[in-house]
Structure 1
Amino acid sequence: MWHDAFHFESLVWDGPIAIYLFLLGISAGSCTLSVLLRLRKGAGSESGIIKATAILAPLSVILGLMLLIHHLARPWTFWKLMFHYQFDSVMSMGVMLFQVYMAVLFAWLGVVFRAEIEGVRRKLLGDKLAFVDGLIALVGRFERLLAPVLLVLAALLGAYTGFLLSALISYPMLHNPVLPVLFLISGVSSGVASTTLLAVTLFKEDGHSQGVSFVHRFERPVVTLELLLLASFFGVLYAAGGQSEVAMQAAIGGGFWSNVFWFGVIGVGILLPQLLSLVAGKEKAHRPSHLVLLCSLSLLGILMLRYFILYAGQMTLV
């Protein structure tokens, strides 16, 4: 059963691609939330959420790309994608998006952490490379422009993970117009969970802090929207009929991947965290141990969603 679920004739993209999509979602989601936190609340480098994003947003993209490069049949030719753009290729457009996104992300993080960067530079290099401080100050003048641009790029990155799969037109379940929006919203959900998890564990952020409280305001609206999008995703398949309806039945009508969806994605990833949050009450819900549990369950559910969409979506061909 396990072997058949992960190895079948129509399978083209396997597990590492699911992890790649999961990591990009974390980057897009965490970046979106931190930019909004700074715009709305004026949070800076002291915020555990923004500190978490400074690690998660660039690192998850770098790890995702390294995983993708390693997974390619000819990884040593990947560098060509970095400089030779093909505007009719979803993969090539994705590489271009990564480059612009990372450049703007590092510029924004440089502005937010300018005092820390200057302090480290002075401690390690003295007066050397002092021009870096002036360069960051110059970029800081354009932060009001930089922030909305980064928001747009993060949204495009989150949606790109869905567009990448929807380009596989031979698979009716993946060639679904709802998929990019679904992956965008679930990416925001992974951003809520990952930034909170890192903030309360690594940076000892209090559960009642401004940053954690702000981020968790998004949790239930995002989960509700995610459920609606999942219903729409399968509704589109059912309405299309033919092989699209066959793909839907194969995915959620029984079998291994159906169990992953109902018990893993819906049960463990969505309903269980909400139930535990309601049972815990307001005070316990902000305890670090409780937040760690809820965030871990949410991230596990989102990872299973990526695996479910990827594998179940390739079981049925047009």
Structure 2
Amino acid sequence: MRSANWSIIIALYLFLAGIASAAFYGGTLAEVLSGGKYRRLTLWGNIIALPLIVVGLLLLVVDLGKPLSFWHFIVSNDFVPMVNISSVMSQGVWFLSFFAILLVINLVLFLTGSDSLRRIISYIAAFFGILVAGYTGVLLTATSVPLWRATPFLGMLFLLSATSTGIAALVLGMKARRDTDEELMHLLDKVDVKVIVLEILAIIALMIGMAAWAPSALQSLVAGRYAVAFWLGVVFMGLIAPLAIEYREMRIGKATPGAVTLSAVLVLVGGFLMRYVILYAGQVG
């Protein structure tokens, strides 16, 4: 089990990988559950995910310092493809690589109109997207840092946060494309409300684990150096405010354009800060 002293580059990588994976599997799930009605969400998820995953991989290379070190997670010294089952980092690099390749294939199939094959590739890519979203939390639990090992729910927290930020990215993508489908916006609001509630429960479980296994990190998180970023950024901006906005939208039965945009932006800000504070508070004491 390794120790860790990771930089803000890793926080940004975790954030981008989460958005990318969830934007795609969220779009794919919407297409499947709607019987193809929301097929365009898979395309938008693909368009959002591909550049973010590429940037994420580049950030990993930069953080390693030596670009050739990246390839050691994929191939042996003899350049033979290799998966190190005992290395969470190696597994993650393979997940990311497969996901990126499948996104390229899926986008090509979209452009060529090969819809039957494209749907199959979408399902496979969505599966790898879920693995990427959960892996970003599991990667931290594989270290010796007490906060990150304090609860088995860290992977679930990152998966839920990724799902919420992915939905936010899809909403902003719709706004950028001037898609005014209120029914779809309302549906995304309803899903995100449920995801945010589960995310709050996962954070509570994390804090209970921290109280037992990482009290100094918990102190830093809730009352110390990272308290403002946690309470104002993660809890209020990233969870409570979007939950209140989206719940109101559900109650009135329609999506207000300005409120939807504000909620999506707040979710993205909170999603990044959640990774930032967990990454840095975990390295305290």
TM-score, with normalisation over the residues of structure 2?
A: 0.87
Question: 1:1-318 alignment to 2 at 5 Å?
Answer: 12-43=5-36, 47=40, 49-84=41-76, 85=82, 86-115=84-113, 136=114, 140-141=116-117, 143=119, 145-169=120-144, 171-175=145-149, 176-200=151-175, 202-210=176-184, 212-238=185-211, 241=212, 243-252=213-222, 254-278=223-247, 286-316=255-285
Deviations 1:275-306 (A, max 9, x none): 33455676696233322211111100111001
1:5-63: CA deviations, max 9, x gaps?
Answer: xxxxx97101110000000100111111111111111347873x334312211111101
Aligned residues with identical type, % of pairs: 27
Partner SS, residue 89 of structure 2:
helix
Q: Distance in 2 between matches of 1:44 and 1:274?
A: 26
Residues 186-242 of structure 1: CA distance to partner in whole angstroms, max 9, x if unpaired?
A: 000001101101211x211115053x333333111000000000111111223xx3x
Supply the AA of the counterpart residue of 1:94.
G
2: CA distance between counterparts of 1:186 and 1:289? 22
Q: Counterparts of 2:183 and 2:105 in 1: how far apart (Å)?
A: 26
Task: Provide the secondary structure at the position in 1 that maps to 2:214.
Answer: helix
Equivalent residues of 1:207, 1:288 under 8 A apart: no
Partners of 1:28 and 1:155 within 8 A in 2 = yes
Deviations 1:88-122 (A, max 9, x none): 2211111111122223333334444433xxxxxxx
Q: In structure 1, list runs of 5 or more residues that go unmatched.
A: 1-9, 116-135
Q: Cα gap change, 1:104/1:177 in structure 2, threshold over 3 Å: closer, same or farther?
A: same
Secondary structure of 2:102's aligned partner: helix
Q: Which runs of 5+ in 2 are unaligned?
A: 77-81
Aligned residues of 1:284 and 1:290 also touching (Cα < 8 A): no
Q: What root-mean-square deviation, in Å, do the aligned CA atoms of Structure 1 and Structure 2 show? A: 2.5
8 Å CA contact retained: 1:270, 1:301: yes
**Aligned CA distance change for structure 1 residues 18 and 141 (closer, same or farther; 3 Å):** closer
Q: Are the structure 2 counterparts of residues 42 and 114 from structure 1 closer, same or farther at C-alpha, using a change threshold of 3 Å?
A: farther
TM-score, normalization by structure 1? 0.78
Instruction: Sort the Cα spacing of 1:156 and 1:306 in 2 relative to 1 into closer, same or farther, 3 A.
Output: same
Whether the 8 Å CA contact 1:264–1:304 is kept in 2: the answer is yes
AA matched with 1:159? G
Letter in 1 for 2:148: L
Matched AA of 1:108: N
Task: Please state how far the C-alpha of 1:68 moved relative to its aligned partner.
Answer: 1.7
8 Å CA contact retained: 2:23, 2:166: yes
Q: Which amino acid aligns with 1:52?
A: W
Distance 1:50 1:282 in 2: 28
> Matches of 1:220 and 1:162 in 2, distance apart?
22
Deviation digits for residues 147-195 of structure 1, max 9, x if unmatched?
A: 44333211111111001111111x1101232111110010000011011
**Cα gap change, 1:73 to 1:38, in 2 (>3 Å):** same
